[in-house]
Amino acid sequence: MPVLVLTARGSWYEKVQGIDAGADDYLSKPFRMEELLARLRGLIRRSRHLASSEMQSGSLAVDSRTGRVTVNGQPVRLTALEFRVLSYLMHHRGRAVSQGELAEHIYPLDAERDSNTIEVFIARLRRKLGPGVIDTVRGFGYRVGTAEPQR
């Protein structure tokens, strides 16, 4: 899904931070409605060619639209929470994700959380996906894929 940041923050380093954080475009105030509409048309035009619900890391493929997960083309059945954990890791592949960040993503803010719940989900995913798919980043959390930038 294309992301356009509309903000009052217009310094060059804030624009760089916004785009590095995942925005496809960045527009700071004040702006003209014509420019906003032109940028939206451009984002929509580009997203038609690039939009894909499937994410891949090595032999692992996750389709966020259908909920389908495959390893080497073979389907893998996951629970809803396992899928949410894996999907979050895939959306952030190549980057280490902390246990706290994963817990915030899969549970409502007011939900009770066991201290080892994320570890249990990771262990289940590792059994189902095979070795080497989810790496442990010592003292921090977990990562899917390499630490190199994704293309």
In the chain, domain spans: 4-50, 54-144
Domain spanning 4-50: which CATH class is it, in words? alpha beta
Distance separating alpha carbons of residues 124 and 69, to the nearest angstrom:
14
The residues facing 141 across adjacent strands are 98, 137
Which helix (H) or strand (E) segment is 38 a member of?
A: helix 33-50
At residue 64, does pLDDT exceed 60?
Answer: yes
- Give the angle subtended at the CA of 106 by the CAs of 104 and 138, to the nearest 5°: 65
Band of residue 149 on the pLDDT scale cut at 50, 70, 90: very low
Query: For the residues 10-35, what does the mean pLDDT come to?
Result: 84
Band of residue 150 on the pLDDT scale cut at 50, 70, 90: very low
Beta strands at 97-98 and 141-144: parallel, antiparallel or unpaired: antiparallel
| pLDDT (tens digit per residue) in 107-137 | 766 566 666 888 999 999 999 999 889 999 9
C-alpha distances out from residue 3 to 21, 27, 40, 74, 83, Å:
10, 11, 9, 32, 23
Identify the top-confidence range among 29-38, 118-127, 142-151.
118-127
Q: What is the pLDDT of residue 8?
A: 87
Identify which of 131, 137, 133, 124 has the alpha carbon closest to the alpha carbon of residue 61. Answer: 133
CATH topology of domain 54-144: Arc Repressor Mutant, subunit A (1.10.10)
Looking at per-residue pLDDT, the higher value among 134 and 2 belongs to: 134
At residue 74, does pLDDT exceed 90?
Answer: yes
Query: For the residues 87-98, what does the mean pLDDT come to?
Result: 90
Query: For the residues 92-108, what does the mean pLDDT come to?
Result: 86
Distance separating alpha carbons of residues 75 and 65, to the nearest angstrom:
15
